[in-house]
Amino acid sequence: MLKTRVIPCLQLIGDSLVKTVKFKDPSYIGDPINTVRIFNELEVDELCFLDIRATAENRTPNMEILQQIANECFMPLSYGGGIRDVETAKKIMSTGFEKVVINTQAFHNPGLITALSDHFGAQAVIASIDVKKNIWGKYHVHVADGAQKTDVDVVAYAMQLQEAGAGEILLTSMDRDGTWSGFDIELTKKVAQAISIPLIANGGAGGIRHIEEAIKKGCASAVGLGSMVVYQQKGMGVLVNFPDKQELEKSLLS
C-alpha cells in the first residue's frame, strides 16, 4: 500500500464512465464495472466515483450501478452526486461504500455535513470544493457541477466545512481538470495550510512528477487522478491504468 494515497477519481453520468476537460464536453470512457475489475487487478488502494450531473439534473444516486460497483470492488469506495440527505447517504453506505462526497449541498446546507459526520463519523464525510480562477487571479468556489459561481473565499469555505464536521476536503481545480498540465499548486497549498484535515488535490495530473509536486510543494495529503488513469496518454485512446507503485514511492520518498 502506498504511504500517500493516490486515488482514481472517476466521473459518472448515470451508469456511464466519462471524462471532462475543464468540466466540459464529457467523453465516454466505458463501463464502470469493467473499470473496477481492472483497478482490482492493479491493486489500487481506494476509488472515488462522482456522478457529475446528478445534482444539476435533479437526479438521485443510481443505486443499481452503485450496488454493482460495490459488489465488484475490493478496495475502499467513496461516492458523490445527488446526495441531499442522511437517508440517501445511508442507502449508499448500505451497498458497501465507505465514504460520501458532498459538494453542492454542502454549500447550500452546511448542516448536512454536520448531520452526516454525527451519524457516520467524520472519516466517512468528504467535502468537495470546485474552484476556478478568474481573469484577475482570484479563486472562486463553484457549485452545481461548476455551473454556479459563488463569491465565497475558498480558504474560508474549506475551514467552514472542516468546522462543520468534514473529515477530508476534495479540492478540484476546474481550470486544470483533464488538461494533464499539473495541479494548481498555489491553490492546493493555500487550502492545505489552512486546515488540519486531509486534503485531496484533484484536477490536472499528467505524470508522477505532478503528484510529487502536489504532495511536496502543495502540502496535499493525497491526490486524485482522472485522465491519467483512463487514457494511454494525452490525446490518445482509452486505457485504464495506474502509475507504477515503485516509481511513485521512489518519487514521493526522495
What's the pLDDT at 252?
87
Name the one residue in this structure whose C-alpha cell is 449508499: 92
Q: Give the span between the Cα atoms of 42 and 163, in whole angstroms.
A: 36
Maximum separation of any 2 CA atoms in the chain, in Å: 47
**Residue 25 appears among annotated catalytic residues:** no
> Which one of 1.10.1060.10, 3.20.20.70, 3.30.420.40, 3.40.30.10 gives the CATH number of domain 5-253?
3.20.20.70
What's the pLDDT at 2?
65
Terminal Cα-to-Cα distance of the chain (whole angstroms): 17
Residue type, 25: D
- Between vectors from CA 47 to CA 148 and to CA 202, what angle results, nearest 5°? 45
Q: pLDDT in tens for each of the 254 residues of the chain?
A: 568 999 999 999 999 999 999 999 999 999 999 999 999 999 998 999 999 999 989 999 999 999 999 999 999 999 999 999 999 999 999 999 999 999 999 999 999 999 999 999 999 999 999 999 999 989 999 999 999 999 999 999 999 999 999 999 999 999 999 999 999 999 999 999 999 999 999 999 999 999 999 999 999 999 999 999 999 988 889 999 999 999 998 898 87
Angle between the 32-41 and 63-72 helix axes, to the nearest 10 degrees? Answer: 20
Instruction: Catalytic residue, from 15, 45, 85, 130: name it.
Output: 130
Q: Residue 143: name the closest of 133, 128, 158 by CA.
A: 128
Residue 49: strand pairing partners: 10, 79
Grid cell locating 9: 477519481
To the question of pTM greater than 0.75 for the whole model, the response is yes
Grid cell locating 18: 466519462
Q: Give the span between the Cα atoms of 63 and 43, in whole angstroms.
A: 25
CB atoms within 10 A of CB 35: 22
Q: DSSP letter string over 189-210?
A: HHHHTT-SS-EEEES---SHHH
